[in-house]
């Protein structure tokens, strides 16, 4: 059963993860490349070039590309491992 306290905790966790993803994306935009380790997908290798975000994982066998910053934020946010 989900109660009000659990909903608030989930909302706060979502906000925290979104902020972390935004920070990672800003680092990516500032530097052009960034690796994010220990995610659900292993190590994410990211690049930002010509307004396109590219994220690869599984030794480059899988790739996600988007020009949409919100999509990139969601992808990164959903890749984080959260332990309670």
8-44 core/surface letters (b: 16 or more CB in 10 A; e: else): eeeeeeeeebeeebbebbeebeeeeebebeeeebeeb
Mean pLDDT along residues 6-19: 88
Question: What are the pLDDT digits (tens) for 25-82?
Answer: 999 999 999 999 999 999 999 999 999 999 999 888 999 999 999 999 999 999 999 9
User: What is the pairing mode between strands 42-49 and 52-57?
Assistant: antiparallel
Q: What sign does the dihedral 81-24-45-61 (CA atoms) show? A: positive
pLDDT of residue 19: 97
Q: What sign does the dihedral 9-80-27-56 (CA atoms) show? A: negative
């Amino acid at each position: 059963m989900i109660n009000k306290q659990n909903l608030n905790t989930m909302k706060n966790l979502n906000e925290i993860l979104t902020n972390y993803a935004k920070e990672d994306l800003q680092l990516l935009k500032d530097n052009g490349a960034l690796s994010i380790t220990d995610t659900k997908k292993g190590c994410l290798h990211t690049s930002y070039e010509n307004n396109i975000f590219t994220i690869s994982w599984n030794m480059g066998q899988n790739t996600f590309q988007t020009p949409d910053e919100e999509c990139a934020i969601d992808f990164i946010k959903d890749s984080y491992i959260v332990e309670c």
